Amino acid sequence: MSRRISIFDTTLRDGEQSPGIALQPDEKATIAEQLQRLGVDVVEAGFPGASPGDFEGVKAVARVLDGPTVAAFARTVREDLDAAGEALAEARRSRIHVVIATSSIHMERKLGLEPAEVVQRARWAVAYAAERADEVEFSCEDATRSDPEFVARVCRVAIEAGATVINLPDTVGYALPHQYATFFADVRRRCPEMRHVTLSAHCHDDLGLAVANSLAAVHAGVGQVECTVNGLGERAGNASLEEIVVALKVRGDHFQVETGIDTEQITASSRLVSELTGYVVQRNKAVVGANAFAHEAGIHQDGMLKDARTYQIIDPVEVGVHMTLPLGKHSGRHAFARACADRGIQLSGDDLNAAFLRFKALADSRGAVPLDAVFEGVPA
């Protein structure tokens, strides 16, 4: 039987922390409604303690959603926790996401706290948050560069204080996939109380491994994955929601898990987030890039025309787009003839050969070639 993985979308919080993005409350609400159509389980709407605008943004999201849990980010300080609880007041189901760092470098250089003080803060903050929201998620920031024994100690007190979700993030994208999976197993062994809560993975892409690490965590047994649409996020970004979801679907034989995501809403979600954030999706981005289902090479186009499964491992319709066979210098005769036929231009024999030679000459000098240019000045 398939195991259900919850998708925690943090586009509106961690994604918005990308330089230059400042979503307005109505824009956050618009994206949140699309995330609801997409089928995410949790929408992290923002960090209410960061600014009045973000506070209003979380309130706007809490007001419009009636399906997903709405989460708000908070540090282990009273002001953050109060702001989170107040901003979430209208949510159908609310979650405060409590975060404190556990690595030596963060505790010493950033927080200026001793390990015992971190434990104390974690215990207090989770208990305080539990009185102000339906759920509490606790995260050990920079977990993968932390001592597993200390992480287990902090998680134990967080669970005792009321946390029902424990997140062990790879905050700076440092871990390798096998290490991340092993880290979860190690902490879980040291903290048996984790058997009674949901474990979550949250990965950054500094080494290009965010999706790989997230999938390794799923294979290791986590019940929640945190990600963003288009892989948006600080520095190199977060794990990409669309890549994780499609990988779990395509390789269901390996993972044997399911999500509640309506994959046909993926492209619409990607385009909306790109439009409202101003962050353009690179053409060769997996799943949602303009080239993800475009085939120009003649060998590929020939295979696609015979059976799309030769070069596509997922039907593009399943993510809300269609396959294309763009014409360029690498295109073959079959694809060219097909493109002509689609335009109502029936060619064969010498006529096809001549038109194809004209097309190749143009393609060598100008890249993509519109069919009108091939037949420009040619008698009908």
Expressed as residue numbers, the domain containing 334 is 298-374
Residue 329 token pair: 């210098």
Query: What's the whole-model pTM score?
Result: 0.90
Kindly tell me if the per-residue pLDDT of 298 is higher than 70. Answer: no
Q: Are residues 344 and 239 in the same domain?
A: no
What local confidence, expressed as pLDDT, does residue 370 receive?
Answer: 78
The mean-pLDDT minimum among 55-69, 130-144, 334-348 falls in 334-348
**What percentage of the chain has pLDDT greater than the value 70?**
95
Q: Classify 296 in phi/psi space as left (phi over 0), alpha (psi -120 to 50) or beta.
A: alpha
Asked whether residue 28 is assigned to any structural domain, the reply reads yes
Residue 174 token pair: 């440092």
Q: Check residue 259 and report its DSSP letter.
A: -
Domains of the chain: total: 2
Kindly tell me if the per-residue pLDDT of 2 is higher than 80. Answer: yes
Q: Are residues 271 and 303 in the same domain?
A: no
Kindly tell me if the per-residue pLDDT of 65 is higher than 90. Answer: yes
Kindly tell me if the per-residue pLDDT of 29 is higher than 60. Answer: yes
Q: Write the CATH number for 184.
A: 3.20.20.70
Contact 335, 302 (CB under 8 A): yes
For residue 202, with 0-12 CB atoms within 10 Å meaning exposed, 13-18 middle and 19 or more buried, which class applies? buried
Whole-number Å distance between alpha carbons of 24 and 240: 23
Q: Are residues 40 and 103 in the same domain?
A: yes
Name the band, by pLDDT with cuts 50, 70 and 90, for residue 304.
low
Asked whether residue 293 is assigned to any structural domain, the reply reads no
Q: Are residues 369 and 241 in the same domain?
A: no
Q: What is the pLDDT of residues 197-252, one digit of tens each?
A: 999 999 999 999 999 999 999 999 999 999 999 999 999 999 999 999 999 999 99
Q: What is the pLDDT of residues 258-288, one digit of tens each?
A: 999 999 999 999 999 999 999 999 989 999 9
What local confidence, expressed as pLDDT, does residue 330 receive?
Answer: 80
Asked whether residue 290 is assigned to any structural domain, the reply reads no
What local confidence, expressed as pLDDT, does residue 8 receive?
Answer: 99
Q: Are residues 56 and 104 in the same domain?
A: yes
In order, the DSSP letters of 166-199 are: EE--BTTS---HHHHHHHHHHHHHH-GGGGGSEE
Which residue among 244, 277, 310 closes a domain? Answer: 277
Q: Are residues 26 and 62 in the same domain?
A: yes
Q: What is the pLDDT of residues 83-132, one digit of tens each?
A: 999 999 999 999 999 999 999 999 999 999 999 999 999 999 999 999 99
Name the band, by pLDDT with cuts 50, 70 and 90, for residue 297.
low
Residue 40 token pair: 């995410």
Q: Are residues 192 and 257 in the same domain?
A: yes
Asked whether residue 380 is assigned to any structural domain, the reply reads no
Name the band, by pLDDT with cuts 50, 70 and 90, for residue 367.
low
Cα distances (angstroms) measured from residue 281 to each of 110, 111, 286: 33, 35, 10
Whole-number Å distance between alpha carbons of 202 and 142: 10
Q: What is the pLDDT of residues 169-178, one digit of tens each?
A: 999 999 999 9
Q: Are residues 13 and 139 in the same domain?
A: yes
Contact 200, 8 (CB under 8 A): yes
What local confidence, expressed as pLDDT, does residue 268 receive?
Answer: 97
Q: Are residues 83 and 174 in the same domain?
A: yes
Asked whether residue 82 is assigned to any structural domain, the reply reads yes
Whole-number Å distance between alpha carbons of 206 and 10: 17
Asked whether residue 353 is assigned to any structural domain, the reply reads yes
Contact 265, 37 (CB under 8 A): yes
Q: Are residues 211 and 72 in the same domain?
A: yes
Asked whether residue 286 is assigned to any structural domain, the reply reads no
Name the band, by pLDDT with cuts 50, 70 and 90, for residue 352.
confident
The residue count for the chain? 380
Asked whether residue 282 is assigned to any structural domain, the reply reads no
Q: Check residue 109 and report its DSSP letter.
A: I
Q: Select the more confidently predicted residue: 351 or 47.
A: 47
3-state secondary structure of 24: coil
Whole-number Å distance between alpha carbons of 300 and 309: 11
Kindly tell me if the per-residue pLDDT of 371 is higher than 80. Answer: no
Q: Are residues 64 and 167 in the same domain?
A: yes
What local confidence, expressed as pLDDT, does residue 329 receive?
Answer: 80
Q: Choose among 217, 219, 292: nearest CA to 253.
A: 219
- Average pLDDT for 46-72: 98
Q: Choose among 16, 61, 52, 7: nearest CA to 34.
A: 61
Q: Are residues 29 and 72 in the same domain?
A: yes
- Average pLDDT for 68-86: 98
Contact 201, 225 (CB under 8 A): yes
